[in-house]
Amino acid sequence: MIPDTLRELIETTDGQREAEWEGRTLLLINDTWGELAISLQGAQVLHYRPADDDHGWLWVTPTPQPLPKAIRGGIPLCWPWFADESPDGQGPMHGPARTADWRVDAVDEDVSGDGVEIHLSPLTRLHDELTPSAVVHANARHLSVELVTRHTGTTPVKMTGALHTYFAVADTHRCRVEGLAGARYLDKLERFAEKDQLGELGIRGALDRIYQSHRPVVLDDGQRRLTITKQGSDSTVVWHPGSDLPSDTPADAGQRFLCVEAACTRLDPVWLVPDAQHLLATTIAREATSA
C-alpha cells in the first residue's frame, strides 16, 4: 500500500528514471519483472511489487512528513544505532543515515534481464570512523536489502542498527509471525522485561519486542505469506503502535502495516575493529510451496 501520488509516478515510468515526490528524489523502476521505488533520502526502499502480484509488499504512510524528516514506511536504514541508543544519548532517533542524502553509484541489470542491483552511498560522511553503503537487489521472486558498514578509522567502534521494514498487510490484527516460538525477547512496552514467546506470535494490539533470534520468519496476513530471512543479525524486532498512532499515520491506515525488522540491538551489538566490515541484510520472498 503506497500513496496514490507515488503509484501514479510508478505507473507512468517505463524502465528506469528519477522523479521528484514529496520533495525527495526517487529512483523508479517499472520493468517486465516488477516495480521498485527508492528514495535518495536515506537510500530507503519505498515500494516493491513483483510482476505477478497485484499489490506491493511494502507500506508507506499516505501523509508523509515534509523534509528534513524521514518518510514513514518502506525500509528505512537505521544506522549506526537502533532506536534511541546513540552513544551519547543525544543523537537522532535511529541514527543519521535515514534522513541523509544518498547517491546512486551503480545500477546493474541481471544478465537475464529479470532484475536489478542498485548500489548506493551517502553524499556526506555520517560517522567519524564508520562508512556505510547499501545494495538493493530486486527481481520477480524476491527483494533484498544489504547495509554494509566498513570501519575506516583507527579505534574499535560499537554499533547497532536495523532494516526497519514496514510490511503492507490486509489487517494488522489478522497477522501472524511464525518462527519465533520459544524465542526470548525484551518487551519494550514493559521497560524491557524479559519474556519467552509461547507459540506463534499473533498481533492483537500495540507491541514493541526485540526477539533474540536469527531464524527466518514467515509473515502471514491471511492473504499472503512472506518469508523473511536475514544475515548479520541476531535480533528480530516486531513493532506496531496499536491505536496510539504516530502523527503522520491516519487512523484508516493504521491497521495496514506491521514492522518485522532484521536488527542488531542491545542484545547483539556489533564491535568493529579498524579495516573490518559488517553486513546486515534482509531478503523477502513469497513462501515456497511444496509441489
Cell numbers representing residue 242 in the block: 496499536
Q: How far apart are CA 45 and CA 227, in angstroms?
A: 18
Cell numbers representing residue 62 in the block: 499516505
Answer positive or negative: Cα dihedral of 125, 126, 131, 136: negative
Question: CB of 214 within 8 A of CB of 179?
Answer: no
Residue 100: CB partners within 8 Å, gap ≥ 6? 41, 42, 122, 123, 124, 126
Three-state SS at 10: helix
Cell numbers representing residue 6 in the block: 507515488
pLDDT at 289: 58
Q: How far apart are CA 177 and CA 227, in angstroms?
A: 10
Q: How far apart are CA 74 and CA 22, in angstroms?
A: 15
pLDDT at 84: 84
Q: How far apart are CA 121 and CA 102, in angstroms?
A: 5
Question: CB of 46 within 8 A of CB of 62?
Answer: no
Q: How far apart are CA 82 and CA 35, in angstroms?
A: 29
Q: What is the mean pLDDT of each run of 10 residues along the chain (291 residues)?
A: 94 96 97 97 98 94 95 97 82 91 94 89 96 97 97 95 97 96 97 96 95 97 95 97 93 95 96 97 84 43
Q: Answer whether residue 272 is part of any domain.
A: yes
Q: What is the pLDDT of residues 176-234, one digit of tens each?
A: 999 999 999 999 999 999 999 999 999 999 999 999 999 999 999 999 999 999 999 99
- Give the phi and the psi of residue 4 in degrees, each rounded to 5: -60, -35
CATH number of the domain enclosing 91: 2.70.98.10
pLDDT at 194: 97
Q: How many CA atoms lie within 13 A of 148 on its CB side?
A: 13
pLDDT at 291: 43
- Give the phi and the psi of residue 10 in degrees, each rounded to 5: -70, -40
Q: Answer whether residue 174 is part of any domain.
A: yes
Q: Answer whether residue 257 is part of any domain.
A: yes
What is the number of other CB atoms lying within 10 angstroms of the CB of residue 11?
A: 11
Q: Answer whether residue 78 is part of any domain.
A: yes
Q: Answer whether residue 291 is part of any domain.
A: no
Residue that the C-alpha cell 543515515 belongs to: 97
For residue 137, the cross-strand partners are: 117, 144
Cell numbers representing residue 128 in the block: 567519524
Q: List the domain range (segments joined by +) for residue 83.
A: 4-286
Three-state SS at 134: strand
Provide the number of structural domains found in the chain: 1
Closest CA to 203 of 234, 251, 243, 233: 243
